[in-house]
Amino acid sequence: MDEATGMMMKNLIFILLFLFAGCKTEQINFDGDAAFNILQQQCDFGPRNPGSKGYLECKKFLISSLHASADTVFTQNFSYTELYEHNTFELENIIAQFVVESDKHILLGAHWDTRPWADYDPNPTNRTTPILGANDGASGVAVLLELAKMFSVNRPPVNITIILFDGEDMGVHNNNESFARGSQHFAQNLPISKPDYGIIIDMIGDKNLTIPIERKSYRVAPDLVNELWQMAEKLNLSAFQNRLGNEIYDDHVPLWEFARIPAIDLIDINYPNQRINYWHTLNDLPENCSPESLKQVGTLLINYIHSLEK
């Protein structure tokens, strides 16, 4: 082979490698409208606070939906006496798994229950009324259920466990441990092999979605945070802001404290912004949520999961 032919062969190999790499990094689309439809379906059951009719009907819907997609689906039962009215409830974490034979294991989680009391509602007469929880409850679940559908068609390259935590929103303020009861029970009684790390999504349907870096997440899993936010920038996902936000007690905290599972939280606590509040009020409605916001979070997660194939 002469020098010119050798140079041509090298150039050809470089072009083929470039084209192959380009194919492997092509963005995977996530259907925000389909996820929003799942959000609406949950809200159609009404409030899903434990013990309510909406709770029982939605539980059947969630389990059935996951059975249609996942390799394995089961529930983890526990009881909890809440501190607001001192009622005891039988609760259930809903767990779905994909590709359990893989050595690499990632947990994706959201809570499916909704708050029994609109205790931050501007109208005092509403403050004992259950909220609908379109954003605080249905949004994270909607993205995870749509991801599950995608995983059933295009199998993830690693073991994925999706957990819909119960009893997250039954707490009293200024008592962190009264919240996130489902993740506490899960972390103290692991029913599966220990995941390598976890990603929790909560309140990610806000029309004005802004997701800074939650501080506890960065302390526990800085490499994962940096990887996700860098990918969000490459994917032009403007909701993800590369700055530190508040420290928030959410389902990611018990995963680390009780099971040493490094977990991060994707959350926009300012719903809809710093001046107006829909969180824990009767204004937490589907019309205050957006398919585009669900799309941004779903796009990041599906592209991140499939990037692990490399």
User: What are the extents of the domains in the chain?
Assistant: 28-307
Indicate whether 8 pLDDT > 80: no
What Rg, from alpha-carbon coordinates, does the chain have? 21
Question: What average pLDDT does this structure show over 269-286?
Answer: 97
295 or 25, which is more confident? 295
Q: What local confidence, expressed as pLDDT, does residue 26 receive?
A: 85
Indicate whether 19 pLDDT > 80: no
Q: What angle do CA 177, 180, 182 make, to 5 degrees?
A: 120
For residue 263, what are the contacts with CB-CB under 8 A and spacing of at least 6? Answer: 107, 109, 197, 198, 199, 200, 217, 220, 221, 251, 252, 253, 255, 256
Give 76-123 pLDDT, tens digit per residue. 999 999 999 999 999 999 999 999 999 999 999 999 999 999 999 999
Indicate whether 145 pLDDT > 60: yes
DSSP character at residue 203:
S
CATH class of the domain comprising 28-307? alpha beta
Indicate whether 6 pLDDT > 60: no
Indicate whether 18 pLDDT > 80: no
Residue 80, phi then psi, degrees to nearest 5: -150, 135
Considering the entire predicted model, what is its pTM? 0.92
**Among residues 117, 113, 67, which one has the least CA distance to residue 93?**
113
Question: What average pLDDT does this structure show over 127-147?
Answer: 98
Question: What average pLDDT does this structure show over 285-303?
Answer: 98
4 or 15, which is more confident? 4
Question: What average pLDDT does this structure show over 269-284?
Answer: 97
Question: What average pLDDT does this structure show over 257-282?
Answer: 97
Q: Maximum Cα–Cα distance for the chain, whole Å?
A: 88
Indicate whether 232 pLDDT > 80: yes
Confidence grade of residue 2 (pLDDT, cut at 50, 70, 90): low
Question: Percent of the chain having pLDDT more than 90?
Answer: 91
Confidence grade of residue 239 (pLDDT, cut at 50, 70, 90): very high
The span from the CA of 140 to the CA of 169, in Å, is 14
Residue-wise DSSP of 150-193: HHHHS--SSEEEEEEESSSS---TT-GGGS-HHHHHHHHS--SP
Q: What local confidence, expressed as pLDDT, does residue 25 receive?
A: 57
- The dihedral over CA atoms of 40, 286, 93, 68, expressed in degrees to the nearest 10, equals 20
The span from the CA of 84 to the CA of 173, in Å, is 10
Tokens for 68? Answer: 């249609």
Q: Within 13 Å, how many C-alpha atoms sit on residue 199's CB side? A: 25
Give 198-227 pLDDT, tens digit per residue. 999 999 999 999 999 999 999 999 999 999
Helix (H) or strand (E) holding 296: helix 291-307
